[in-house]
Structures are given as C-alpha cells and as structure tokens.
Amino acid sequence: MHDLNGRTAVITGAASGIGLALAHRLGAAGMNLVLGDLERSTLDAAVAELTDAGFPVAATELDVSDLDQVIAFESFSRESFGNVHLLCNNAGVGAGGPVHDLNNLDLWKWTIDIDLWGVIYGCKVFLSNMIDHGEAAHVVNTASMAGHLSIPMMGPYSIAKYGVVALSETMSKEMQMLKTNVGVSVLCPAFVDTNIATSDRNLPTEIRAAHNMPSPGSMPSRTQSKIEQLVAAGIPTSDVADAVHDAVIEDRFWILTHPETRQEVTDRAQQIVEGINPTLGGLF
C-alpha cells in the first residue's frame, strides 16, 4: 500500500497504547479511522483527542474475543467509511502463571481468547471483503517478541503470540499463493511503554471472584513487578507506530522494533538446529 491517503484503517485495542499511537500515525497519513476497544471511557477520550487533531473517526466498544461483536464491528467499519484497506489486529492483554497450576486455567483462557482468538476472528471476518474489493490492502497482526522467545511464568501470553506469528506467516503465504491484493505484516516488539502490565483491570469479575484474585492495583508479585519495570522502560508507542506505517508502505512482513532482539532470535534458531536445551536466560 504505497498511498494511504483517503483509505480506511481499522484498529482494535485502539483507545490506548500502541493502538492509539497507530491511530495518530495513520490519521496523520490521511486515513479514515475505525476504532474498537473494550474500555468505553478510554475510547471516548481517544475519539475526542483524534477528532481534535482533525482526523475522521468512527468508534465502537468491542470485545475481540466475541465473534458476534467482531462481525458487527466489520459491518460498522464498512458502514462508516466503505471499504477497509488496513486492518490492525492489535487488541491484547498480558497475563501469566505457572503451567502446573490448574487453578489459573480461566486466566489462561481469557488471555488466549483475546490475544490469539481475537486476531483469528479479525482475520476471518475482515479478510474476505478486503480481498473482494480488489483495492490495495494490508493486515497487521500484533504479536510480540514473546512470539519468538518464551517467557517463564507468561505461558498463555507466549502461546498466543507464537500463534499470531504462525497465523500471520500462513496468511502471507496464502495471499501470495492466491495472488490477492492483500499484504500481511506481523508486529513483534519487545518492551513498549504501555499499560499492558496492568491488563488485569479488564479481567472479568467472575474470574477474579472465583479465584479470590486481588483487585487491580494490589501489591504485585515479584514477576509482575519485574514486568512492570521493563514495560515502563520500554520504547515509546510512537516509535512502534512509525515502524508499522513504514512496513505497510514498503509491504514488509516482519516488524521488529527492537534491533537488539534480532540476535536473540538467531541464538534460539541456532539452539534448535544444534539440539541445545532451552535455558532460562537473564530476564529473571
């Protein structure tokens, strides 16, 4: 997609973090913006901010783990601005817990439903019309470096992000095989300064109550504290948005926002081909 001006971008998880930065960057490129987010008040604030900046915006509350809501969101997008040209499946949460603890299966399901099934639903629901309209189009799926490098105590997050990487690679090959008008990118940042470390603010009440989990803002665990520190020291969301914009323009699949992580990916691949067991590494 060499020219974004006048085209339409759809962004999930758009009210804050990377999603909001994407909205600003793509709006500045001349795109119409369709925003979806679970947090209504934050979404309303984002719409006001983007409207004040002069960008055309339509927005609606959205839970990407609900297929019916994603279907309605796709209809809302086309009713608002016509054909969708850029789909950013960006909504996500961060959660974890040890693999051996059966008591946190609800938390695992919640994370995977949003981080993986939310992306699957977005691709399934939007892609056919994006192909059929025949105009230049692109899909950006937000994964993570956790989709290449597994993080201990963050099993559900890593599993979901590995899945997003695999889904995106599969889609890219299918779009080439079918000679469609749709390009594909997968976004794999390391730590970015967002609110993902406090994703539990959106945890369903019934899960929190069933497992006697602390309320949001309670004293975090050692692992949670470490993640929060790393996220707070992460790169600005505007840097990620710039990288996504450039990748769409250049039709580039891999969006790796942290150059230092490239060696870690290389090291992991080398361990695989040499049969070396996984090691803990220096994160914890």
The letter for the amino acid at 137 is A
Least confidently predicted of 77-91, 119-133, 217-231: 217-231
Instruction: Enumerate domains of the chain plus CATH numbers.
Output: 8-274 (3.40.50.720)
Q: Write the pLDDT tens digit of every residue in 208-239.
A: 666 665 554 433 455 556 666 666 667 889 99
pLDDT classification of 97: cutoffs 50, 70, 90: confident
**Residue-level pLDDT at 231:** 61
Does position 185 have pLDDT exceeding 60, yes or no? yes
Instruction: Give the closest residue to 47 by CA, choosing from 35, 38, 62, 31.
Output: 35
Structure pTM? 0.90
Q: For 93, which DSSP code?
A: -
Task: Find the catalytic residue in 55, 81, 157, 191.
Answer: 157
Active site residue 157: yes
Within 10 Å of residue 269's Cβ, how many Cβ atoms? 11
pLDDT at 206 over 60: yes
Query: In the chain, how many H helices and how many E strands?
Result: 10, 7
Q: How far apart are the C-alpha atoms of 242 and 198, rounded to whole Å?
A: 24
Per DSSP, what are the bridge partners of residue 58? 34
φ and ψ at 152, to 5 degrees? -60, 145
Q: pLDDT digits over 233-265, tens only? A: 678 899 999 999 999 999 999 999 999 999 999
State how far the Cα of 51 lies from the Cα of 151, in Å rounded to an integer: 39
CA–CA dist 42, 37 (Å, integer): 8
